[in-house]
Structure 1
């Protein structure tokens, strides 16, 4: 494997120098991107706008046009356009991992390791993941720990989504778009910029989607009627002086996905031909409001405040045995509320020394509503069901900063650090098959993480960097199972070393990024059988005693040669678990202790040393290309094809193929043909063109299908 990684890395590095960033077929007007220079890709991960090609971060940056060209409308599809990313959607949440680090266990106590920011605010870390992408200015997918600026939820990376903002004195402009396709799909979206005065402007955007279910389900089930969604966004920008701006953005989402049908892993039937005998539901209703205020002092220093408030309710119901024979069901209704506040002091961009100081606070509370969180075998009797209610509040606070010093022409030293404190509490009541259990427990952690980078700007076209960075994800609490108060699990720690080279070639028509990294991943949070009492279906979450070693190589290329354009990405990853003895909680074993550090090894107490990290595919690859044909009268015809590959990955460290732990590789083709006529664009599109049947996620012994082939037409008009 090491030899293959090295050989592939060398080959791709040579190709990246010879291959031809991609041209875009206009979709929604990208006001923010238009403000930047045409030949500069902007990244805002370090709280100021910088040129991606001269920033020490491995990242994929896409405009709203890029997303439309690639057929990306939700977070799931990011894995097919960015190297190193995997997204496994199991219904009421996702396992989003970058370079094999992110989220692998499915509960509110296990925070995410790849956080998504929307318009400057960290969004819900587990639920409400199906929020659509519409009227987007830019999406930044950052790879590797972002410990300085993002903090405790970014050990694997982060995603920054920025919507189009209002334009003062920009006139009335916008777009409307309608779509239709198979599965009786109908969709509409649009946006309009509204000038109000010389200092005030608004923007209103909306998105709706309707379609029938992908599934043919036999058995007495309810739900799974398809998709019915509606989203809206209102933004108001006020700039009373050249020194002061205030941007208020509010999003509202109603996402009725009706259900996520699934059947047992290794079932022989087609993924979309299943049976069930339980209610199904997947309904998310949530809102977010963000206020960003910037004030520039006379000395050029900017004070920025970003305030966020988010609230939502998620309702979910599923058939846990995945058949019309069993009677194992699940349902819940959870409220989540988040308040966050960030302050930044940002120095001017010029000068030998630039700096940023920041402070952050967040309160995130889950409320498990009474009588709504129920696992039934079957449901209906307290002696045959498990229920939970109560609150899980979490708090986090941090102080952070970064200094960049240009100590010689073209040479920079960057030093960043973040001190963070995090706490979690469970105030819950459990009724476990007739046995009442209460938990009033809390735990807290603190950490100092950061980054030290050395950057060399050789000239306007070549940039080299090397850094060491650390990340931290807090621990959490185990739910009691009647064996006394369970111990909390500890925080995860990530230390990553990376070198990279970003280059521009052929007068800017070709851009390349290549990088290699080495990572030590400590205290991986994983659910196994109780070490002292390993009987079937008795679980506890703890930490691996030895670090996972991970290393790899990534390359990206973007090129435009006249009417032809191409974009591609490659990620190679090797991972090895350290010494770790564990009992598979699905199987259990003799009631003999299985110490995670020392074993002893047996048929049930397995040493997992040397196995691959979960959700860490060895190979990810994506490529997109298009050609713009000129037609009479100024019209154009643009065919485009995109391909994304994610190699096999494991859903658990036990890697038990018979129990469905292997998630097979994914090969997804998307295609479209766009005809542009003035302000109109008509597009024929298809996603998963080959109709590949693939497992999108595995959870609780069930497999969740990735979307089948979808196709249709889209009509867009700018005004």
Structure 2
């Protein structure tokens, strides 16, 4: 072993021990692969590693070998401080944490005493396991060699050729695996995202259970178990937090252009108010992109072609800069024609991302990120429900037949036909950094970020609507985290500042004049949070977390009345202070069986509408009880997770098109009432053989509105007024201003508006966008070829039962159950460098919808989001230098 260079930190005793076993490990790798022992690491390609990097590589091998003789569970220290890009072996973290490489000083020895003891034990077990393998007779090796196949990394975890994969997640700001996290979470690897053809957030509905995703112009509407936001303008906020590399994305428009070169996607269900803060009532979707890898030069290429003139090219290059830095550059180009008859619902995007990682010292690492995306084409539009008799499901609103159909409907007021002039032009710029500093008592993490979104699009919602919105977001998160055998904790602070400029026009809507909306919302938020898990007995732990958020919202704006052509001015200024918390307990029945129970809360901030008085709405809140168990059986060949939940959904924020008492048309957000949801989730994963794997996720959700009411003003001609046919709810009234109401509306028992109004009461309805049953099932079989390559078959089925598309509850908004079947056949070369795949998505040709909005001028006519039709194509992949 060479001596340390001048200025280089000497290796620790543990590293020296690991390197000393390096030659033994090297000599036995081929034997181990012949044996087919589970989890055998693949050989490292490219130039040989030297010095400390080689020691880290061999350290991974020794830790893996230790897993051969252990139960596969590291009870102590199973969580490590949150740092993206970490890896695990078995269920024990191998983080490459900088404290492992410090100089051997007394202070460090005191801090790492428990960890060093575990490491020494692992190292001793590694040597024992390797010696045992060397002593195996040739006959035993020959008997076990049959059917062995090289391991493969997947889901950000460790591929076990004889069992279920362990998936690494950071959803709770600490690195662990899905089986050790007391939450309901689904994780998809970057490979699964690519295979599923997911190029934007709306595609996640096809690959996840319990998630409904719609589109409104440039806005993506995400719902988890019915909790989310149908917002169609910047005056509302999402109810499911979307994060990219740990950075909260405040606007649905900002979620685009991120689905390439991904390590994994985490979908967390249930309120995440403690760690994620505001606007995470329904849960969170976390995108984790691939980090630069030190000591590696690699190139990944992927190309795809299919029907609807689809072509996609994705590339990523990783370059090492010396021994302590690396850069990764990735790009993505997508072109696909639209599914609708006028070319809308296309996919035109170009994206690029550059990431630089620098390990400045053994204790300090810095990760810099810059990315840019552009979305073009015609953008998203909708189709009419109920469908025109005999029409194609993908008939656009702008077709001559569709225009004749809508204009002939009772109450049709459109003076002009819908024109095929939709467009989309969105640009996104993002800058961020992450600094991790290992202190003697904890790891300090700093994440500053700036995001800029400039979106311009035109679509049709009963009239041509053109939007030009600009969002500028700044944020800073500071965290301290620590992990030990007895206590894991994270504390931090968060700052968020957003300025928005909104311009919207309704062009020549009906017999009325054009309408223009201008507003400038501003949001500033501060938060402090903490969460800890403490061991109280062998295998038993308690969980506690708390977050305080103070948020101020201000806005100024104007809106032109459709009827009088007069301009109305709006202002608002409100501060919302909220406390979110989480309490719970977890217990290890055995090393592979976990029981947990949690009670958590989440809040979505209140705000203002620029039309439809009253223009202020209150925050909504979700309180959730969850009880679950996570289990491995049959030597890790079978995994069964089961959870039950009960949610109390208070002051629900809903969105509907409305004309207020001044004749101003808009999409208003209001507090509709309360709802109760309860149900359960079953997740089953099985790997009966090395060549076969099967997974099933089924979710049952019972949902009902305990209270739901709204007021609709009764307007004189020429205004369209309120038509009871526009709702399936019970309607009474009109009620004069100040008159008592039979049920409260907008938080008041009287009509607080300036004009007579009808009252709608929707109690008892199923919560919109919540199917009673939903789920997905997948099967994979791999055929080994004589040349060492393989052919794999993948089949996936996604299904959901009937549900309401939006909150008017008219018959056209009730969508039937659907099932989508995807399949692919992939050839992998013997060295795993090349692959070719043919695929088909929605092979059953199912017609399904994910949301909608009622025409404010034609009651009962719904503009609905329609899902993708049957698609097919071929995909080729090249991976060099791994």
TM range (shorter): 0.7 to 0.9
1:377-456 map, 5 Å: 377-378=508-509, 384-433=513-562, 434-456=565-587
Aligned length in residues: 671
Offset, 1:460: 1.4
Partner of 1:634, secondary structure, is coil
C-alpha change, 1:27 and 1:543, in structure 2 (3 Å) is farther
Cα deviation, 1:65-102, whole Å, max 9, x if unaligned, reads 22234443332232233322111223321221112211
Partner of 1:412, secondary structure, is strand
1:41-440 map, 5 Å: 41-170=167-296, 172-217=297-342, 224=344, 226-268=346-388, 269-274=391-396, 275=399, 276-299=418-441, 301-321=442-462, 328-347=463-482, 349-369=483-503, 373-378=504-509, 384-433=513-562, 434-440=565-571
Cα deviation, 1:381-406, whole Å, max 9, x if unaligned, reads 9x711101231111221100012110
Cα deviation, 1:226-268, whole Å, max 9, x if unaligned, reads 4321111101000021211111122211111423233332122
Counterpart in the other structure of 1:605: 759
Partner of 1:597, secondary structure, is strand
CA distance in structure 2 between the aligned counterparts of 1:35 and 1:181, rounded to whole angstroms: 31
Offset, 1:661: 2.0
C-alpha change, 1:233 and 1:530, in structure 2 (3 Å) is closer
Partner of 2:576, secondary structure, is strand
Query: Is the contact made by 2:847 and 2:869 (CA closer than 8 Å) also made in structure 1?
Result: yes
Specify every segment of 5 or more residues in structure 2 that has no aligned partner in the other structure, as ranges. 1-89, 91-148, 400-417, 714-721, 725-730, 752-756, 855-861
Query: Is the contact made by 1:456 and 1:463 (CA closer than 8 Å) also made in structure 2?
Result: yes
Offset, 1:111: 1.2
Matched, 1:671 2:838: no
Offset, 1:584: 6.2
Counterpart in the other structure of 2:141: none
CA distance in structure 2 between the aligned counterparts of 1:471 and 1:366, rounded to whole angstroms: 24
Partner of 1:40, secondary structure, is coil
Partner of 2:173, secondary structure, is coil
C-alpha change, 1:552 and 1:139, in structure 2 (3 Å) is same
Counterpart in the other structure of 1:18: none
Query: Is the contact made by 1:27 and 1:64 (CA closer than 8 Å) also made in structure 2?
Result: no
Counterpart in the other structure of 2:680: 553
CA distance in structure 2 between the aligned counterparts of 1:48 and 1:35, rounded to whole angstroms: 21
Counterpart in the other structure of 2:699: 571
Offset, 1:696: 3.4
Query: Is the contact made by 1:128 and 1:284 (CA closer than 8 Å) also made in structure 2?
Result: no
1:531-680 map, 5 Å: 540-545=668-673, 547-561=674-688, 562-583=690-711, 587=723, 591-593=734-736, 594=741, 596-597=743-744, 605-657=759-811, 660-677=812-829, 678=831, 679-680=833-834
C-alpha change, 1:444 and 1:506, in structure 2 (3 Å) is same
C-alpha change, 1:669 and 1:584, in structure 2 (3 Å) is farther
C-alpha change, 1:531 and 1:640, in structure 2 (3 Å) is closer
CA distance in structure 1 between the aligned counterparts of 2:150 and 2:197, rounded to whole angstroms: 13
Cα deviation, 1:471-510, whole Å, max 9, x if unaligned, reads 11111112145x7xx3511110111111000001111122
Partner of 2:765, secondary structure, is coil
Partner of 2:787, secondary structure, is helix
Query: Is the contact made by 1:32 and 1:164 (CA closer than 8 Å) also made in structure 2?
Result: no
Partner of 1:421, secondary structure, is strand
Deviates more, 1:310-319 or 1:97-106: 97-106
Counterpart in the other structure of 1:509: 637
Offset, 1:539: 7.1
Counterpart in the other structure of 2:42: none
Offset, 1:531: 12
Deviates more, 1:140-149 or 1:424-433: 424-433
CA distance in structure 2 between the aligned counterparts of 1:105 and 1:313, rounded to whole angstroms: 18
C-alpha change, 1:650 and 1:195, in structure 2 (3 Å) is same
CA distance in structure 2 between the aligned counterparts of 1:707 and 1:62, rounded to whole angstroms: 20
Offset, 1:597: 2.0
Specify every segment of 5 or more residues in structure 1 that has no aligned partner in the other structure, as ranges. 1-20, 218-222, 322-327
Counterpart in the other structure of 1:713: 874
CA distance in structure 1 between the aligned counterparts of 2:319 and 2:548, rounded to whole angstroms: 42
Query: Is the contact made by 2:253 and 2:453 (CA closer than 8 Å) also made in structure 1?
Result: no
Counterpart in the other structure of 1:13: none
C-alpha change, 1:616 and 1:225, in structure 2 (3 Å) is closer
Deviates more, 1:157-166 or 1:121-130: 121-130
Query: Is the contact made by 1:100 and 1:613 (CA closer than 8 Å) also made in structure 2?
Result: yes
Query: Is the contact made by 1:570 and 1:620 (CA closer than 8 Å) also made in structure 2?
Result: yes
C-alpha change, 1:32 and 1:52, in structure 2 (3 Å) is closer
Higher Cα Rg: structure 1 or 2? 2
C-alpha change, 1:606 and 1:488, in structure 2 (3 Å) is closer
CA distance in structure 1 between the aligned counterparts of 2:461 and 2:775, rounded to whole angstroms: 34
C-alpha change, 1:696 and 1:608, in structure 2 (3 Å) is closer
